[in-house]
Homo-oligomer: A and B are copies of this chain.
Amino acid sequence: MPDTYRRIVLAARPDGAVTAENFALETVPLPQAADGQVVVRNDYLSLDPYMRGRMNESKSYAVPQPIGETMIGATVGRVVESRNAKFAVDDVVVGMYGWSEYGCSDGAGLMKVDTEHVPESAYLGPVGMPGMTAWYGLNKVIEPKAGETIVVSAASGAVGSVVGQLARLHGCRTVGIAGGPDKCAYVTDELGFDACVDYKAAGSDRQALRAALEDATPDGVDGYFENVGGVVMNTVLGRLNPFARVAICGLISGYDDAGGAAPIENPALFLVARFRMQGFIVSDHLPLWPTGLKELGTLVATGRLKYRETIADGLPAAPEAFMGLLKGRNFGKQLVELS
């Protein structure tokens, strides 16, 4: 066991886009486990869009990340010391130790996971919070029916990729929206979506984006899982069928913009299509997690749910990887490998 470990704290709140100066890398002493505690060496750190909201001081659905404290984040790692009867050395555990090489806690919220059938890192992706987010938003907000058309933005990402694959399993026509030909090819060829619209190909030509979406959704859109907001969202809303359902999971296009996400331009569409739009946060629905994670774990273990990871190397690489995530530079789930 080393004497020290590294962590990244929030050094300053961003004013608009996140920069490297918002973070500080610290080396701190490694604690020993007190009675009832465990010490965990984190193997992977999860980077997720929600972290951007925590960096602001403004009102959000969660308390802001305090300045000078370890950045929030989910981790998966191995118990290296235990004075807690529920955990043994070498147990693989998912926790919320943040942007940190080690974690020490009383074990509350720590979950032992099986790595025989499911790879360890998947517990931060399709069998973790991103997968549950997809599962909840699709099943409980959109409530898809076989034969319907379901559209998801950020379709190659950690959440979007699961949304589309689950919708396919429901018997839906599944259409992704992603940035660039590589991501779109992955979405259709590897994940099995029926179509994928490349929003970057349309550039600032909204008519072109609308036309591409129309081609991909000949029967309109019955369910929309929103991760990005902005022009993409406004375009899809204009394509909704009567009684469509829209799950607002994220609005990443506005997270780095001091003005926030772009407006919903045409609220009259709520009357034209009588659709329902609902924002949700998966942590509001913890009682459903065991059900969802079991289903997702089985799908991953049996190869029916595919996923892709972008892995940054070492904790010091986390800020740059996070900034890339906010700009869509990652491809699939963004992780940082720590050990």
A interface list, Cβ under 8 A from B:
53, 59-61, 229, 233, 242, 248, 250-251, 254, 260-281, 284
A251 to B268 alpha-carbon distance, docked (Å): 7
A33 to B271 alpha-carbon distance, docked (Å): 38
A274 to B140 alpha-carbon distance, docked (Å): 13
Q: Can you list 19 contacts pairing A with B, beta carbon distance less than 8 Å?
A: A53-B271, A60-B272, A61-B271, A248-B271, A250-B271, A251-B268, A251-B271, A254-B268, A261-B268, A262-B267, A263-B263, A263-B267, A270-B277, A270-B279, A272-B279, A274-B280, A276-B276, A277-B277, A277-B278
B270:A274 contact, CB within 8 angstroms: no
Chain B residues whose C-beta falls within 8 Å of the C-beta of A278 in the assembled complex: 270, 274-277
Q: Which of B263, B267, B279 contacts A271 (CB 8 A)?
A: B279
- The residue of chain B having its C-beta at the shortest distance from the C-beta of A260 within the complex is B268
B61:A274 contact, CB within 8 angstroms: yes
Chain B residues whose C-beta falls within 8 Å of the C-beta of A260 in the assembled complex: 266, 268
**Contacts A272-B59, A277-B276; is A229 near B267 (CB within 8 Å)?**
yes
Chain B residues whose C-beta falls within 8 Å of the C-beta of A265 in the assembled complex: 263
Rounded to whole Å, the gap between the CB of A268 and the closest CB of chain B is 5
Rounded to whole Å, the gap between the CB of A260 and the closest CB of chain B is 5
- The residue of chain B having its C-beta at the shortest distance from the C-beta of A50 within the complex is B271
Interface residue SS majority, chain A = loop
- The residue of chain B having its C-beta at the shortest distance from the C-beta of A271 within the complex is B279
A261 to B270 alpha-carbon distance, docked (Å): 11
Top 9 nearest A-B pairs by Cβ distance? A270-B279, A263-B263, A264-B264, A276-B278, A248-B270, A271-B279, A274-B279, A277-B277, A261-B267
**Contacts A261-B268, A267-B251, A268-B261; is A279 near B284 (CB within 8 Å)?**
no
Rounded to whole Å, the gap between the CB of A115 and the closest CB of chain B is 33
A210 to B277 alpha-carbon distance, docked (Å): 24
A153 to B50 alpha-carbon distance, docked (Å): 33
Most B CB contacts (10 A, CB to CB) among A59, A61, A267 go to: A267
**Contacts A261-B267, A266-B260, A266-B263; is A272 near B229 (CB within 8 Å)?**
no
Most B CB contacts (10 A, CB to CB) among A229, A261, A271 go to: A271
- The residue of chain B having its C-beta at the shortest distance from the C-beta of A278 within the complex is B276
Chain B residues whose C-beta falls within 8 Å of the C-beta of A267 in the assembled complex: 229, 233, 248, 251, 261-264
A61 to B273 alpha-carbon distance, docked (Å): 7
Chain B residues whose C-beta falls within 8 Å of the C-beta of A261 in the assembled complex: 266-268
Chain B residues whose C-beta falls within 8 Å of the C-beta of A277 in the assembled complex: 270, 276-278
A265 to B260 alpha-carbon distance, docked (Å): 10
Chain B residues whose C-beta falls within 8 Å of the C-beta of A279 in the assembled complex: 269-276
Chain B residues whose C-beta falls within 8 Å of the C-beta of A275 in the assembled complex: 278-279
- The residue of chain B having its C-beta at the shortest distance from the C-beta of A273 within the complex is B279
- The residue of chain B having its C-beta at the shortest distance from the C-beta of A263 within the complex is B263
Chain B residues whose C-beta falls within 8 Å of the C-beta of A263 in the assembled complex: 263-267
